[in-house]
Amino acid sequence: MSTLLEIKNLKTHFFSKDKVLPVVDGVDFKVKKGETLAIVGESGSGKSITSLSIMGLVPKPGGKIVEGEILFDGKDLVQLSENQMYKVRGNDIAMIFQEPMSSLNPVLTIGEQITEVLIYHKKLSKKEARQKAIELLKIVGFARAEGILDDYPHRLSGGMRQRVMIAMAMSCDPKLLIADEPTTALDVTVQAQILELMKDLSKKFESSIILITHDLGVVAELADRVIVMYAGQVVEESPVVSLFDEPLHPYTQGLLSSIPKLDEERKRLTSIAGNVPSPDSFPKGCRFNTRCPHVMQVCIDKQPDLIEVKPGRKSRCFLHEEGVNSNG
Amino acid sequence: MKKLLLLMAMVLFLSIFAVACGGGDDAPEEPADESPGETDATEEDEDEDEEEATGPQYGGELVLGSMSDPVMFNPYYSADSASADIEGQLFNGLMTSNTELEMVPDLAVDYPEVSEDGLVWTYRIHEGVLFHDGVELTAEDVVFSFSIPIHEDYTGPRASTFQYLESVEALDDYTVQFTLSQPDAAWPITASYSILPKHILGDVPIADLEDYNEFNLENPIGTGPFKFAGWDAGVSVTLEAHEDYFEGRPYLDKITWRIAADQNALVLLLETGDVDFINVPSSELATVETFDHVNISSTLALNYSFIGWNLQNPLFQDVRVRQALTHAIDRQEIVETILEGEAEVAHAPASPLSWAYPDSVPEFHFDPDRARELLAEAGWEPGSDGILEKDGERFSFTVLSNDGNTTRRDIGIIMQQMLGDVGIEVTPEQMEWGAFLDKINPPNHDFDAIILGWNLGLDPNPEAIWATWEIEQGLNFISYSNERVDEIAKENSSIVDQDERAELLAEAFQIIAEEQPYTFLFYPNQHLGMVNTLGGFVHHPRVTFYRVNDWYISE
Amino acid sequence: MAKTLEQEKLTVNENQSDILLEVNGLKKFFPVKAGILQRTVGHVKAVDDVSFYVKKGETFGLVGESGCGKSTTGRTIIRLYEPTDGKVLFEGKDISNLNEKQLKPYRRDIQMVFQDPYSSLNPRKTVGTILEEPYRVHKLYSKAERKERVEHLLEKVGLNPDLRNRYPHEFSGGQRQRIGIARALTLNPKLIIGDEPVSALDVSIQSQVLNIMDDLQKDFGLTYLFIAHDLGVVKHISDRIGVMYLGKMMEIAPKRRLYSNPFHPYTQALLSAVPKSHPSEVKKERIILKGDVPSPSNPPKGCVFHTRCPKVMDHCKQEIPALKELEPGHFVACHLYE
Amino acid sequence: MTTYIIRRLVMMVPILIGISILSFGIMYAAPGKPTVLNLDPSISVEDRERQMERLGLNDPVHIQYLRWMGNVLQGDLGHSFTRKQPVTKLIMDRLPNTIVLMVVSTFLAVIIAIPFGVLSATRQYSKLDYGVTFTSFIGLATPNFWLGLMLIMLFSVQLGWTPVGGVSTLGADFNLLDRIHHIILPAFVLATADMAGLTRYTRSSMLEVINQDYIRTARAKGFRERTVVYKHGLRNGLIPIITIFGLMLPTFIGGSVVVETLFSWPGIGKLFIDATFERDYPVIMAITMFAAVLTVLGNLIADILYAIMDPRIEY
Amino acid sequence: MAKPEINLPNDINAQTLGKRRSLLSIIVAKFFQNKLAVIALVVLSIIITSAILAPLITPHDPNLQNLRHRLEPPGPEFWLGTDHLGRDLFSRLLYGGRVSLTVGFVAMIGAVSIGTTIGAIAGFFGGKVDAFLMRLVDVIISFPNIFLLITLVAVLEPSMEILILVFALLSWTGTSRLVRGEFLTLKNREFVLAARTIGMSNTRIIFGQILPSAMGPVIVAATLAVGNFILAESTLSFLGLGIQPPRASWGNMLTYSQSVTIFRNAVWYPTFPGLAILITVLCFNFIGDGLRDALDPRIVEK
């Protein structure tokens, strides 16, 4: 499979009067055509800002891509002018957001919001756009799609809105879909519907998907490959199955073992000590060193690199460099 | 500043002399406000333009500045000066006043014949006087007009002006005879009330006349030099020349009163040429004088300003105290500073313009030492804080004036300082006009001292202000009472001979001046600013728009 | 014929001393006010005839999706809301209609831990003040004792007692939640109602808090009513679990029974909807419910679940199924089991 | 919606009755009687007393109130004490002027405030933003009579660009340009404070909106910033402005008192002030009630517009 | 009893809490980031201080007339010139500032106290109490304010005390709506619920828990209100209903100078009181704006 998107050493920092927050600090990864890549991390890990960096929508004022390349289909998105980015966004790369309740414009009808993308990017006539919108709505599971078109978002439930968001995102057949916590705000039963829908769509549209989530369950459901982010950096990269089978990085290990699971019973949860560091106080050395059960002097002194431990599997940890088996 | 406008003309000076006030063409008062002025009182002169040479010519129009909308155009019901100004142009009376403040024939051909007992007055009127609608004015119209205020259904405010008129009848088409119930010195003035057209109003029941807007507001018809052309509420009133005016067509084609909200606006409108004629307050005189296209005419106004001492208040019951107060106030300084010299210090309750003005009255000039002396005589000694005391009571009082009148406001403030120098504590206070009147008028009499002015009527009868019986209900709110003055007040109005009456009045004025129930402040000048192309203007001390039919525009 | 909860209650009564909290036919309706007029046009039946009991020392989990009324149930029990109907028996005494004054002693026995670690602590007060407040309200202990107790509690929840003088905003979410727990513990309560206490936390922090709650339960002999939407979390911490849907109790069962053998179609769907914890399990068939939860202001007639139920029958649309005990301790409200 | 409006209109009734009782009470508590004021002091006490009787001013206050209320319910606002005209006519003569002034100044305020507010928000912390912010604060801090007189001195007297006052050139026929010429300065002065306030509101409302998720969605769709701001942002940003706008209505009437005086604008603000000082009860009551109705209606209109603008609101 | 997985609490805290920052210090720091607000604060402090210290600073008695020195231009004797009665404008400006600022502050305190109390009661108790109080607010809001002011001041005779009273009585509605809104939100905040679950009394909850959190917007509104009252006083002065002479206030000083002649011949007279009002109100607005940002609760929660 060929690479659709390659991110090299992406650094997106936030500047305020007295400090610089390295929210995304040297992220590398690739997305291949047709694959679903999950980016997992807790709050403050920089996963959302990474996705917004790809979209060229880093919050302003304050946020800025200070370094790195985002190669999409061979073009470096970082270098594109704002005018050129307009053609990429919504067309080649689409995005859906976490909050379906607030991500739709409350004063425009569903129809207006879907068709405007089609009219803008695909230069369809109003009528064609409307037809296409109906098709899309049917695809995302609305039986009476025509009726929905003239409704306002507030009349729809969260699940329905997220479907609308998906329909909107898919309307221009994007090559890449970025889904930022698409199911987090939804109830379990609705989440299941949406996950099911996304699985179908990824097959149908052959789009690549970047799935951003903190929920490893969602990762297990959808992803082909996984990137684990911590404190603005990628700490582990792996195909999904091997990640669950054998997590390499101590953070991933902690994460996996701290989740209470339905299908197993433990008297006591394993947990990662301490707190997720905030970007203004990332520790020196390995950023996980404050919470790592295997912390060594070297971890405090310098930063480990993201190295390929096994084929297709990378980890950012001195344990691997020194050949220590993480399962020990 | 503002309020001047708000309060309409009457705010400024209470007009006085109940009987005196109603002359048809003389508005009870001018919108002259604080405007005092000082020219030689004597020259109520034609301040005619220098360029007399061109001579009168027909045509042109004039825009006159006004600060308030008129109320209506029916002098038997209106009571405001804006209405009176316009009524003066729309109607004529049998008599009118001249610049000497004498009553002279208007519609009447000559002075009336008066019966021996002074009860029967017979007027002969001009023939061929036409109303604006072309109908000739006859004695019937006069009879009709004077029957209105004596009719039992009359709803207007003038009934008492006509209280001594018993009957009026037409002897023929051009002769009309009035019968009075008792001699009335003010009758010649009363006889100057406007003549209304019977052929239009004759069928309207007297009870409905006040609200008969078809005439009163929409289409007043009179015999005056100008006829009604339009009224844009709050904006302007327009009159056009009455072609068939009995004295000949006025020179001007059209006059328009433009209503502006305040004094500043009028001054600016005059400057920009939007208005041709305004009343200039002395505070703005300096500005108007700089306008090249404007002439200013000044004359003594028929009014005076005073500080009234409430004689019900023990503080002011001693005549020495009142004299001392007058001695302590530097009226000349007030005139020269806040009035910019545009006034003359007053000593008596009559205007120098009046025939009744006495030759001499006691005067109390600025003399703080004399003031202290008099106060000491009256038993007032400086207390520990420098304020005079007597029997443990401090000499401290409030002087009230109506807000909106900046001159009075400033006089209060200055007075505070001047009286402070002799050890009297004064608190100046201003009140909104309505509240102010409520406070000073009977039955309240709730004040220590007030600063106010009287607009004088043509008749100098002192009764309304000084007679004891006016304390309870009338204008004698300071509660002045003097037996001799009461006698004179009662007697004088029935003395028809002017010299005899003047002598009597002088006595009353002297008594009042001696007793100083008021500290008489000054006789202000009034100033009229007008474009220098205006000719034929004559400055009448009471009537701003006097003989407008003689006015003309010269190129 | 299965026993209804009413009957169950009778059996429970025999060993009443085991029961700490009993909720019987609890209802909480909120008036729906329309527009700016604020006229009541209907009611949101947030909790509609819910019954269950919590035994001493156990953790009773209450799960359900948003809008199912689980939080309202918790808040009505602790009398943050006035119940519309029904009884809440605490140690056998009905506290549902006590006034605030009569309630005060019970305030010490029942405490609550809230969901949002950011809004549950007064931002203007120091942690010490927040934790001492309950003592001041109940006029307990001297100043020095209060301080000592607060420090002790902070230590108990794994925080440095020296941080007493800090403000909430200086703490991370997990730490704040510990403070929230410490506050609930100040008055030595018998029952703690946890209203989604870990759902706002990051996964790695969530487990810390769950562990602390576990420990405290043992140390203090606490009883928990644990409200959550995360089935994994509920399973981990609870002994018995009640499943709510649209204001109604659907199923109550001991944890193992519920997860291994759910009776109610809703419970089955719910469990099946949970994302799998390993990619290899994803292939398994799952029950996908259609549509969304209906609005509680206008719940469906009959069984409230009938609109989405894969096994819906005709009379589900008419009759409200009663909560019946199918197996010992396993209650279900479903017409399938009649 | 119709029933909602009807219900709201019904709800106005008690409020208006409350206001009428309150203002009638205050008015009567004021020292000074109408006849004392509106009549020349030369008028005798008897004549004055007769006037009082005729106007019913000697009756107890509650009787007078009920009589007034009764007449109002029959559509009769009474006769002005001082102006001898039906109040309805007095008001109708001047109301158009006030309304024109209000409409124009509102229009000015809106067309200036909203674009600047939006620009200020979209370029937060730019020089333009600071400039707009500073200017609008100055607009809020300037006493408008002072501003008015200074502008008159500058534009009308020094430069001669605008007339000193009035609605139109005296005696001229209706001429739109002439009207505009006359109205521009008073409308601007009347609009300043609201313009400034509206700019601030627009700015903060837009700032709020710009941080909303749906704006991010719109950006993610690839729209140009202009489309994002004006199509997706502005309509949402304007919704709260509408409420403000409804609340602004009565302040325009209030402000008109000052502006009408300054610019010799024959409107009801000026009439009201005059009536207050003259104790012209029927006129005071009529204008107070008119303003109250306008205020209440302003709120209602704002709510209705709100509902139209915001599909989330349903009645 | 700390379990090994929890790690040692001391370590965590030492690492993540960092340097201690109290709420106040954050607010102050945030406020000081707003340069305009800081400048405004400095200017306003100077104005207030000089108004307070007026008796010590002023070179002349503010009410002493010197009729020989009327409308003198600014100079060494009269720093800002004299007014139409020859009174020293600088002295009057400072004394007038006392009056204007007093009117502004006291009226603000009155309005804010009434508004806060009523808003708090309405918001906290809700239901019928709320409905009644909000109807009251409706009536007062629907009452055309300027008309009521004019009428009331005319009725009660304008003195500083009356002016303050009338301002306070008419201007609390905004605050009450604001506070009510805050209360409606805050009373369902979990920390308030928590206070209820420990059995805290309503009074204590209102004053101890909710009110302090609701004060942010109130303080902002109060700051702006002071400026507005100063402006309102000047407008009433213009209509002849402001502070009465000889007591100086910025409003009546400005009003007395509204004459064409004074504008032409003594332009300093209208200029200085006008500027005093403008600058003071401007300062209050800028400070209010700065406080709005500084007191924004979000800064603490982020």
All structural domains of chain E, each given as residue ranges with its CATH number in brackets, are 29-301 (1.10.3720.10)
| D315 belongs to a structural domain | no
Cα-Cα-Cα-Cα dihedral of D175, D180, D183, D185, to 10°?
-140
Which of the pair, E87 or B322, is modelled with greater confidence?
B322
Question: Torsions phi, psi of C261, nearest 5?
Answer: -145, 65
Token output for C268: 């089955």
E near A: at least 3 beta-carbon pairs less than 8 Å apart: yes
Alpha carbon separation from E43 to C320, E27, E47, E234, E279 (Å, rounded): 72, 20, 6, 21, 8
Residue D174 and residue D96 in one domain: yes
The dihedral through the CA atoms of B430, B435, B441, B444 has a sign that is negative
What residue of E is the nearest CA neighbor of D29?
E155
Q: How far apart are CA B259 and CA B234, in angstroms?
A: 6
Pick C166's closest partner by Cβ from E2, E17, E200. E17
Residue C236: Cβ within 10 Å count = 27
| Confidence check: pLDDT of B189 > 90 | no
> Do A248 and A254 meet the contact criterion of CB atoms below 8 Å apart?
no
| D82 belongs to a structural domain | no
> Do D295 and E144 meet the contact criterion of CB atoms below 8 Å apart?
yes
Question: Torsions phi, psi of D242, nearest 5?
Answer: -60, -40
Q: How far apart are CA B469 and CA E233, in angstroms?
A: 44
| A318 belongs to a structural domain | no
Using only C-alpha atoms, what is the Rg of chain D? 24
Q: B353 to chain E nearest CA, in Å? A: 30
The residue with tokens 């205006």 is B534
> Do D85 and D174 meet the contact criterion of CB atoms below 8 Å apart?
no
Decide if A275 and E12 are in contact by the 8 Å CB cutoff. Answer: yes
Does the beta carbon of B262 lie under 8 angstroms from any beta carbon of chain D? Answer: yes
Alpha carbon separation from E256 to A175, C85, D45, E251 (Å, rounded): 74, 70, 36, 9
Residue A110 and residue A19 in one domain: no
| Confidence check: pLDDT of B77 > 60 | yes
Residue D65 and residue D104 in one domain: no
Chains that touch C (3 or more CB pairs under 8 A): A, D, E
The H or E element containing residue B521 is strand B518-531
Q: Please provide the average confidence, as pLDDT, over all residues in chain A.
A: 87
Alpha carbon separation from A115 to A108, A131, A200, E108 (Å, rounded): 11, 9, 23, 52
Residue A7 and residue A86 in one domain: yes
Residue A264: Cβ within 10 Å count = 10
| Confidence check: pLDDT of A30 > 80 | yes
Which domain range does residue D173 map to? 91-309
Task: Choose the weakest-confidence range: A255-269, B154-168, B408-422, B478-492.
Answer: A255-269
Task: Choose the weakest-confidence range: A107-121, A138-152, A252-266, B347-361.
Answer: A252-266
Cβ-based contacts of E18 with chain A (< 8 Å)? 281
CATH number where A22 lies:
3.40.50.300
Does the beta carbon of E209 lie under 8 angstroms from any beta carbon of chain C? Answer: yes
Mean pLDDT of A240-264: 87
Q: A58 to chain D nearest CA, in Å? A: 10
Residue E160 DSSP symbol: H
Residue E158 DSSP symbol: -
Which of the pair, E196 or D28, is modelled with greater confidence?
E196
Amino acid at site E153: V
Pick A107's closest partner by Cβ from D125, D221, D235. D235
Residue D157 and residue D22 in one domain: no
Residue D208 and residue D176 in one domain: yes
Q: How far apart are CA B413 and CA B406, in angstroms?
A: 11
What pLDDT is recorded for position D231? 86
Token output for D16: 């208006």
Residue A13 and residue A158 in one domain: no
| D314 belongs to a structural domain | no
Chain E window 3-32: which residues touch A at a Cβ cutoff of 8 Å?
5-7, 11-12, 15-16, 18
| D85 belongs to a structural domain | no
Q: A186 to chain C nearest CA, in Å? A: 9
In terms of average pLDDT, the best of A281-295, B123-137, D136-150 is B123-137
Decide if D7 and C37 are in contact by the 8 Å CB cutoff. Answer: yes
Chains that touch E (3 or more CB pairs under 8 A): A, B, C, D
Residue A64 and residue A117 in one domain: no
B near A: at least 3 beta-carbon pairs less than 8 Å apart: no
| A300 belongs to a structural domain | no
- Confidence bin at A327 (pLDDT 50/70/90): very low
What pLDDT is recorded for position C140? 86
Mean pLDDT of B151-168: 86
Q: Please provide the average confidence, as pLDDT, over all residues in chain D.
A: 84
Cα-Cα-Cα-Cα dihedral of E86, E91, E97, E98, to 10°?
-110
Decide if B414 and E85 are in contact by the 8 Å CB cutoff. Answer: yes
> Do B154 and B190 meet the contact criterion of CB atoms below 8 Å apart?
no
Q: Please count the helices (runs of H) and the strands (runs of E) in chain E.
A: 15, 0
Chain A window 100-159: which residues touch E at a Cβ cutoff of 8 Å?
none
Decide if B22 and D42 are in contact by the 8 Å CB cutoff. Answer: yes
Does the beta carbon of E24 lie under 8 angstroms from any beta carbon of chain C? Answer: no
In terms of average pLDDT, the best of C256-260, D295-299, E208-212, E280-284 is E280-284
Q: How far apart are CA C319 and CA C338, in angstroms?
A: 12
What residue of A is the nearest CA neighbor of E17?
A281
> Do D213 and A103 meet the contact criterion of CB atoms below 8 Å apart?
yes
Mean pLDDT of D197-205: 88
What pLDDT is recorded for position D36? 55
| A317 belongs to a structural domain | no
Residue D188 and residue D252 in one domain: yes
Cβ-based contacts of E16 with chain A (< 8 Å)? 274-275, 277, 281
Decide if E16 and C172 are in contact by the 8 Å CB cutoff. Answer: yes
**D278, D266, D212: which is closest to D34 by C-alpha?**
D278
| Residues in CB range of E240: below 8 A, 6 or more apart | B2, B3, B6, B403, B404, B432, E255
What pLDDT is recorded for position B364? 93
Amino acid at site A37: L
- Confidence bin at E297 (pLDDT 50/70/90): low
Secondary structure, 3-state, A124-139: CCHHHHHHHHHHHHHH
Residues of C with CB under 8 A from a CB of A: 65-66, 172, 174-175, 202-208, 210-211, 214, 229-233, 235-237, 259, 269-282, 286, 288-289, 291-293
Which of the pair, E2 or E64, is modelled with greater confidence?
E64
What pLDDT is recorded for position C37? 52
What pLDDT is recorded for position C16? 65
The dihedral through the CA atoms of A87, A88, A94, A98 has a sign that is negative
The residue with tokens 């055509």 is A33
The residue with tokens 């029961």 is C19
Q: Please count the helices (runs of H) and the strands (runs of E) in chain C.
A: 10, 13
Residue D256 and residue D183 in one domain: yes
| Confidence check: pLDDT of B222 > 90 | yes
| A281 belongs to a structural domain | no
What pLDDT is recorded for position D42? 60
What pLDDT is recorded for position E93? 92
- Confidence bin at B510 (pLDDT 50/70/90): very high
Cβ-based contacts of D306 with chain C (< 8 Å)? none
**A122, A186, A180: which is closest to A159 by C-alpha?**
A186
Residue D163 and residue D25 in one domain: no
Q: How far apart are CA C336 and CA A143, in angstroms?
A: 29
| Confidence check: pLDDT of E246 > 80 | no
What pLDDT is recorded for position E16? 45
What residue of E is the nearest CA neighbor of C152?
E1
**D260, D237, D312, D261: which is closest to D98 by C-alpha?**
D260
What pLDDT is recorded for position B281? 86
| Confidence check: pLDDT of A153 > 80 | yes
Please state the pTM of the whole predicted model.
Answer: 0.82
Residue D56 and residue D111 in one domain: no
Q: E149 to chain D nearest CA, in Å? A: 10
| A316 belongs to a structural domain | no
pLDDT averaged over 10-residue windows placed end to end, chain C, 338 residues: 46 65 90 64 85 92 89 91 90 86 88 87 88 90 90 88 84 88 91 90 86 90 92 90 92 90 92 83 76 81 89 88 88 88
> Do A226 and A197 meet the contact criterion of CB atoms below 8 Å apart?
no
Residue A114 and residue A232 in one domain: no
Q: How many CA atoms lie within 13 A of E109 on its CB side?
A: 5
The H or E element containing residue D89 is helix D87-122
Amino acid at site B374: L
What one-character-per-residue DSSP string does D239-266 give? HHHHHHHHHHHHHHHHHHHHHHHHTT--
Q: How far apart are CA A72 and CA B102, in angstroms?
A: 106
> Do C113 and C180 meet the contact criterion of CB atoms below 8 Å apart?
yes
What pLDDT is recorded for position B33? 34
Q: How far apart are CA D54 and CA B159, in angstroms?
A: 14
CATH number where D235 lies:
1.10.3720.10
What pLDDT is recorded for position B38? 35
pLDDT more than 90, % of chain B = 51
Amino acid at site B524: P
* Alpha-helical regions (H) of B308-350: 319-328, 331-337
What pLDDT is recorded for position D43? 64
Which domain range does residue A150 map to? 103-171
B50 sits in the region (left: phi over 0; alpha: psi -120 to 50; else beta) called: alpha
> Do D313 and D240 meet the contact criterion of CB atoms below 8 Å apart?
no
Q: How far apart are CA A168 and CA A114, in angstroms?
A: 5
- Confidence bin at B7 (pLDDT 50/70/90): very low
pLDDT more than 70, % of chain A = 97
| D258 belongs to a structural domain | yes
Mean pLDDT of D291-302: 82
| Confidence check: pLDDT of B39 > 80 | no
Amino acid at site B53: A
Token output for C229: 């939407």
Tell me which of A171, A191, A225 is where a domain ends: A171
> Do B554 and B343 meet the contact criterion of CB atoms below 8 Å apart?
no
Mean pLDDT of B233-248: 91
Mean pLDDT of A124-144: 89
What pLDDT is recorded for position D37? 53
The H or E element containing residue D36 is helix D34-38
Give the pLDDT confidence of D231-269 residue by residue, as tens digits. Answer: 888 888 888 888 777 777 766 667 788 888 888 888 888
**B235, B176, B81: which is closest to B545 by C-alpha?**
B81
What pLDDT is recorded for position E20? 61
Q: How many CA atoms lie within 13 A of C115 on its CB side?
A: 15
Residue C41 DSSP symbol: E
Decide if B1 and E256 are in contact by the 8 Å CB cutoff. Answer: yes
Question: Torsions phi, psi of B367, nearest 5?
Answer: -160, 80
Domain count, chain A: 2
Q: Does the structural domain C5-97+239-337 have CATH classification 3.90.70.10?
A: no
Cβ-based contacts of D7 with chain C (< 8 Å)? 37
Strands annotated E in B91-225: 95-97, 103-105, 113-114, 120-124, 165-172, 175-180
Cβ-based contacts of E281 with chain D (< 8 Å)? 140-141
Question: Measured over all CA atoms, what is the biggest interatomic distance in chain C, rounded to whole angstroms?
Answer: 67
Chains that touch D (3 or more CB pairs under 8 A): A, B, C, E
Residue E267: Cβ within 10 Å count = 15
- Interface size C-D, in CB pairs within 8 Å, comes to 9
Residue A110 and residue A32 in one domain: no
Residue C166: Cβ within 10 Å count = 21
Residue D63 and residue D96 in one domain: no
| A192 belongs to a structural domain | yes
Chain A window 5-24: which residues touch E at a Cβ cutoff of 8 Å?
17
The dihedral through the CA atoms of A93, A98, A101, A105 has a sign that is negative
**Domain ranges within chain C, ordered by starting residue:** 5-97+239-337
pLDDT more than 90, % of chain A = 30
| A327 belongs to a structural domain | no
Mean pLDDT of B57-78: 89
Mean pLDDT of A112-136: 91
Q: How far apart are CA E273 and CA E252, in angstroms?
A: 9
The H or E element containing residue D12 is helix D2-29
- Confidence bin at A29 (pLDDT 50/70/90): very high
- Confidence bin at D314 (pLDDT 50/70/90): low
Residue A301: Cβ within 10 Å count = 12
Is the preceding peptide bond at B443 cis, omega within 30 degrees of 0?
yes
Domain count, chain D: 2
Residue A119 and residue A211 in one domain: no
| D80 belongs to a structural domain | no
Residue D67 and residue D102 in one domain: no
Question: Torsions phi, psi of B106, nearest 5?
Answer: -120, -85
Alpha carbon separation from C68 to B168, C21, C245, C246, C303 (Å, rounded): 98, 21, 5, 4, 14
Q: How far apart are CA B397 and CA B309, in angstroms?
A: 10
| Confidence check: pLDDT of D145 > 80 | yes
Decide if D42 and B20 are in contact by the 8 Å CB cutoff. Answer: yes
Cβ-based contacts of E134 with chain C (< 8 Å)? none
